[in-house]
């Protein structure tokens, strides 16, 4: 951001901080802020035509750090906001993606009907059988920085060992989940989503990335911030790939709209 000062300043060595601050429409109670004055002096530049202008650092583009108030950076709808206590919140498109990666080493195996544990090169895999529905389990604490009400995207990375007979052969992955708050029923009603992955006649031994069309719904999570979200990962035996589907990881992606938990 640059502000042309035209003829207000004649010499770089004789800068009137009072003038600079007034030009920036900053309240008079900030005029004694020497740190701001020094920063403004350092921001004064001259272009090749001799015009004097201010090349302002981002922390001087809002009055937030020039007083004891909030600091807002961005536009009308998409911006970052530092509250008076320093807590950072993100609004509109300023939000960022956050990823949770669940690997074979992270999950809990049940006492029965669990997938086999093997290796593919240096990668650990969970090998889900075709004839028996096998499951693994994982629990996460729903984070404070999740953007409440937004959905969570789900993807599975996996492989298989032999080319299928034709491109119509598919694998059906399933995710069953349940969030619970203090005083809630831990073994309560769950929600299940599934996703078919087809075209496995030419991809033996290759990494397959299956993105779920249906997401984990934010509406099912919003009353359970900082409480457990239980997940069951399984392969639906109604699919028709006649060999193991070997899972490398489960990938959860969600929107983050704040930095940590506000005190």
Annotated domain spans of the chain: 2-69, 96-256
Three-state DSSP at 104 gives: helix
Q: Which residues of 129-148 are buried (b: 16+ CB within 10 A; e: fewer)?
A: bbeeebbbebeeebbebbbe
Q: What angle do CA 234, 240, 246 make, to 5 degrees?
A: 45
In the structure encoding, which two tokens stand for residue 223, read together? 């009353």
CATH number belonging to domain 96-256: 2.60.120.260
More confident call, 160 vs 75? 160
**DSSP at 216:** B
Share of the chain above pLDDT 70, in %: 72
CB 69 within 8 A of CB 63: yes
The gap from C-alpha 87 to its chain's centroid, in whole angstroms, comes to 18
Which residue blocks in the chain are alpha helix, DSSP H? 17-23, 34-43
pLDDT of residue 76: 76
The single residue listed with the structure tokens 């939000």 is 95
Contacts of residue 251, defined as CB under 8 A and 6 or more positions apart, other chains included, come to 99, 100, 101, 102, 154, 155, 156, 157
pLDDT of residue 8: 40
**pLDDT > 80? residue 127:** yes
The single residue listed with the structure tokens 């001087």 is 60
Q: Which burial class, exposed, middle or buried, applies to 87 when counting CB atoms under 10 A from its CB (0-12, 13-18, 19+)?
A: middle
pLDDT of residue 77: 81
User: What pLDDT, in 10s, does the model give residues 159-184?
Assistant: 999 999 999 999 999 999 999 999 99
**pLDDT > 70? residue 30:** no
Contacts of residue 224, defined as CB under 8 A and 6 or more positions apart, other chains included, come to 142, 179, 180, 181, 184
User: What pLDDT, in 10s, does the model give residues 200-248?
Assistant: 999 999 999 999 999 999 999 988 888 999 999 999 999 999 999 999 9
pLDDT of residue 226: 86
């Amino acid at each position: 951001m640059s502000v042309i000062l035209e003829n207000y300043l004649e010499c770089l060595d004789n800068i009137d901080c009072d003038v600079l601050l007034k030009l920036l429409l900053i309240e008079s109670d900030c005029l004694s802020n020497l740190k701001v004055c020094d920063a403004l002096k350092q921001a004064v530049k001259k272009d090749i035509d001799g015009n004097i202008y201010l090349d302002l650092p981002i922390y001087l583009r809002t009055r937030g750090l020039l007083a004891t108030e909030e600091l807002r950076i961005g536009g009308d709808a998409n911006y970052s906001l530092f509250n008076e206590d320093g807590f950072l919140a993100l609004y509109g498109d300023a939000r960022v993606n956050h990823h949770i990666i669940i690997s074979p080493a992270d999950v809990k195996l049940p006492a029965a009907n669990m997938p086999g544990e093997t290796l593919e090169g240096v990668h650990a895999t969970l090998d889900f059988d075709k004839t028996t529905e096998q499951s693994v389990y994982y629990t996460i604490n729903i984070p404070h920085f999740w953007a409440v009400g937004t959905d969570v995207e789900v993807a599975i990375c996996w492989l298989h060992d032999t080319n299928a007979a034709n491109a119509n052969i598919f694998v059906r992955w399933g995710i069953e989940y349940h969030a619970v708050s203090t005083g809630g029923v831990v073994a309560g009603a769950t929600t299940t989503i599934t996703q078919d992955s087809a075209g496995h006649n030419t991809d033996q031994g290759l990494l397959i990335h299956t993105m779920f069309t249906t997401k984990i719904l934010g509406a099912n999570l919003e009353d359970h911030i900082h409480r457990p979200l239980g997940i069951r990962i399984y392969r639906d035996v109604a699919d028709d790939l006649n060999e193991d589907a070997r899972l490398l990881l489960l990938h959860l992606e969600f929107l983050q709209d704040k930095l940590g938990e506000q005190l």
